[in-house]
Amino acid sequence: MEIIIQPTQAGATIVAARIIGSLMRKNPRAVLGLATGSTPLSLYRELIAMKLNWSQVTTFNLDEYVGLPREHEQSYHTFMWDNLFKHVNVAKKNVHIPDGSARDIPKFCAKYEQQIRDAGGIDLQVLGIGTDGHIGFNEPTSSLVSRTRIKTLTRQTIADNSRFFGGAHKVPHHVITMGIGTIMEARQLLLLAFGEKKARAVAEAVEGPIGAINPASMLQMHPAARFCLDDPAASQLRHSDYYRWVYENKPDWQKV
Ligand code: GLP
């Protein structure tokens, strides 16, 4: 794992955007896994400003609420089009977001997995992290080898996301999410976390034991996982001095 710590969210976002931009320039047909939530918003603004060529890029989103129509203002479908896709030249046919109104959810999930395989797998998956350590919507105790499927949100996640819905009672209880096994097959993982409220989940993920109780801890098993953190999100890491030192002393050929 590479733990990149920057003083501010803006700084960490620029590093993440540079990593994605460099991949897209090297591989114009890159397959990107994308995330929602407040964390990647600044990343998407930065990527839009970079005026990259998205015409041959394929995207797969991590998750979606079950029961929300696509056009619902809080659907992740709406989120992605409003905050990224409509500002870049991505081809609509190359955009994949789980369908929260699928009638046969297991069948839809199997098809989503197949679409990822057919696209040649995900080159780089962007991730946020929940305050409980979830990635995508893989809540604590999710199988570490899980595939795309339906999950039930924890009360913690419902409370965390109630700010978007104007009350916890309006947050759907069920979601479709790529599994941890699906996420782990991406060739690169890039997890972003900002702010002190993520500090505990980040410390457990990076330095704690690997376990389903903190799904993000599974990233320890990935050969190319990066965390892009601001100082507050890194504040509970015991070895932060080492991570900073490693990043500052990277040989030129290793720099993005
Ligand atoms: C959301 C998403 C996750 C996201 C996490 C953190 O509900 N399903 O993909 O990483 O929870 O959200 P935020 O970035 O708003 O803190």
- The contacts of residue 57 (CB under 8 Å, 6+ apart) are 24, 28, 29, 30, 31, 32, 90, 94
What is the number of the ligand 1 atom nearest to the C-alpha of 175? 8
| Cβ–ligand 1 contact at 39 (below 6 Å) | yes
Reported as a single tens digit per residue, the pLDDT across 225-237 is 999 999 999 999 9
| Cβ–ligand 1 contact at 130 (below 6 Å) | yes
| Cβ–ligand 1 contact at 215 (below 6 Å) | no
Reported as a single tens digit per residue, the pLDDT across 149-180 is 999 999 999 999 999 999 999 999 999 999 99
Is 86 exposed, middle or buried, given 0-12, 13-18 or 19+ CB atoms closer than 10 A? exposed
Whether the predicted pLDDT of 217 surpasses 90:
yes
- Ligand 1 centroid to Cα of residue 130, in Å, is 5
Q: What percent of the chain stands above pLDDT 70?
A: 100
- Ligand 1 centroid to Cα of residue 37, in Å, is 4
Whether the predicted pLDDT of 44 surpasses 90:
yes
Q: Which of 36, 192, 202 to mutate to test the pocket of ligand 1 (most atoms within 8 A of CB)?
A: 36
Q: What is the pLDDT of the chain when averaged over all its residues?
A: 97
Spatial contact of 133 and 215, defined as CB atoms under 8 Å apart: yes
Reported as a single tens digit per residue, the pLDDT across 51-77 is 999 999 999 999 999 999 999 999 999
Whether the predicted pLDDT of 254 surpasses 90:
no
Whether the predicted pLDDT of 252 surpasses 90:
no
| Cβ–ligand 1 contact at 36 (below 6 Å) | yes
Reported as a single tens digit per residue, the pLDDT across 128-138 is 999 999 999 99
| Cβ–ligand 1 contact at 43 (below 6 Å) | no
Shortest-distance Cα residue to atom 11 of ligand 1: 130
**What pLDDT band is residue 253 in, cutting at 50, 70 and 90?**
confident
**What pLDDT band is residue 256 in, cutting at 50, 70 and 90?**
confident
